[in-house]
Amino acid sequence: MSVDRYQILFSGQILDGFEENQVKANLQELFRATEARIERLFLPTATPVIKSDLNHQDAEIYYQKLTRAGANVRISAQPRAAAKPVVDSEANAPATADTPPPATPNAGREQPGDDDRRRAGLEFTGKGGEYFGIWIVNILLTILTLGIYSAWATVRNNQYFYGNTQLDGASFQYLASPITILKGRLIALAVLIAYVAITNLVPEAAILFVAVFLVATPWIMIRSLRFNAINSAYRNIRFDFVGSYGQAFMVTFVWPLLNLVCLLLLTPLVLKKTHQFIADNSRYGTTAFELQATTRAYYRFFGMALLMVLGFAAAALGLMQVGQEILATLVAVAGYIALIGYFMAGVTNLFLGSTTLADHQFESELSPGKMVWIYASNVFLIVLTLGLFTPWAKVRMARYRANCSAMWIAGDLDHFTAAEQNRTSAVGQELGDAFDVAFSAV
């Protein structure tokens, strides 16, 4: 018994009330495709099929989304030898009408067909009780050795979480040497001691020390990112990071300074530049990652946050004006918590959901409410147990993050070529830790 399949057709026509440039921008945002790829949809010679192999419900969802974007599309029964779509999202059909069509991995390149693409979810198999044994031994030995064992503790912790994180039946690996980390920490400690001594003995020289440290900050960040990347592996293939000092200097100082000059109006763009710096300079073997998100997506993300703030603020002020101070305070606290959850989940979803590796697409579906609940309940239980719940809290968060993350694999993961097995010093990473310089995408 055959099942009817449907396809979405588009001949470059737009609906009344829309401008062509706006429709193109809307389609580019929906499909997360390059401008050139969207332009192909409007060519007279383009095939009209932009999405195929859909059931009727999913076809209706795509139809609604595309018509809202201004595209004059139609649904057609799919013949057995359907034309290859020009811009096919290649993902599973949206579950609800509120879900946009999934992103197109590496838009602008030839993509494999829907039958070659499958979803592989991340899985974390660690257990709180199991990790507690590692955690408590690490703490005791670090205290007994006056901190020297902390390098081995770091490696054991990372090996546990990496080894219990699986993708497509294979676990990740953490390959750093404790000795390398210890050397880096000793150098970082020596620099910190020198800074304290200079500050106390020659206060004027401290200014020069700080200036030198600021100049070195981009280098420290690059070394930290590269150390973590090159000591991480999957299927015996190492990751890498190839960012330059100039790129790090831009995202560390230039873009934030321009943002201040523009009264923080460039905040979404600064975040995008940071994400782009990390994603586009990351490698798996010799294959580059790529951030596909548009600047508009980042402004929309922050715009939603601004609307959330304004809404809760207006509600709280309204309650205060009618004498409901307690209720107004509760509304303000609820708004603050909602905003924290929105950023905790949203930044990760935006970054991972827009990152590709060759023809493979990543996915993150963290829930703001769930993130806040796990974080708040973890803090409460850690305080209640005087810190003993910490291992279970870490495992709990790691499991939730893994369960909400996935990779859409086009074909298989066996075609990657391992890059040269370079080694890099841990000095950059440990200097970053000593001076509390954090640099990450999420």
Give the model confidence (pLDDT) of 274-322 as tens digits: 999 999 999 998 899 999 999 999 999 999 999 999 999 999 999 998 8
At 85 the pLDDT is 54
**Which pLDDT band, with edges at 50, 70 and 90, does 94 fall under?**
very low
At 421 the pLDDT is 45
pLDDT at 12 over 70: yes
At 380 the pLDDT is 95
CA dihedral 241, 242, 245, 246 (to 10 degrees): -120
At 105 the pLDDT is 36
pLDDT at 115 over 90: no
**Which pLDDT band, with edges at 50, 70 and 90, does 441 fall under?**
low
Q: Indicate the residue type of 290.
A: E
Number of residues written out for the chain: 442
At 434 the pLDDT is 45
Cβ–Cβ < 8 Å for 295, 268: yes
Edge-first strand order for the sheet with 49-54 is 49-54, 6-14, 71-77
Q: Indicate the residue type of 334.
A: A
Return all residues near 403 (Cβ < 8 A) that are at least 6 apart: 121, 122, 123, 124
Comparing 291 with 419, the larger pLDDT belongs to: 291
Cβ–Cβ < 8 Å for 270, 252: no
> Mind listing the pLDDT tens digit for each residue in 125-163?
999 999 999 999 999 999 999 999 999 999 999 999 999
Percent pLDDT > 70 in the chain is 83
Cβ–Cβ < 8 Å for 131, 165: no
At 430 the pLDDT is 55
CB half-sphere exposure, 212, CA atoms < 13 A = 7
Classify 250 as helix, strand or coil: helix
Comparing CA positions, the residue from 62, 131, 127 lying closest to residue 92 is: 62
> Mind listing the pLDDT tens digit for each residue in 152-211?
999 999 999 999 999 988 999 999 889 988 988 888 889 889 888 888 888 888 888 888
309-329 core/surface letters (b: 16 or more CB in 10 A; e: else): eeebeebbeebeeeeeeeebe
What is the arithmetic mean of pLDDT over 331-351? Answer: 93
DSSP class of residue 114 equals G
CB half-sphere exposure, 257, CA atoms < 13 A = 5
Q: Indicate the residue type of 241.
A: F
- The whole-angstrom separation of Cα 388 and Cα 403 is 25
Q: Indicate the residue type of 168.
A: D
**Which pLDDT band, with edges at 50, 70 and 90, does 91 fall under?**
very low
> Mind listing the pLDDT tens digit for each residue in 375-410?
999 999 999 999 999 999 999 999 999 999 999 988
Angle between helices 20-31 and 56-68 (to 10 degrees): 140
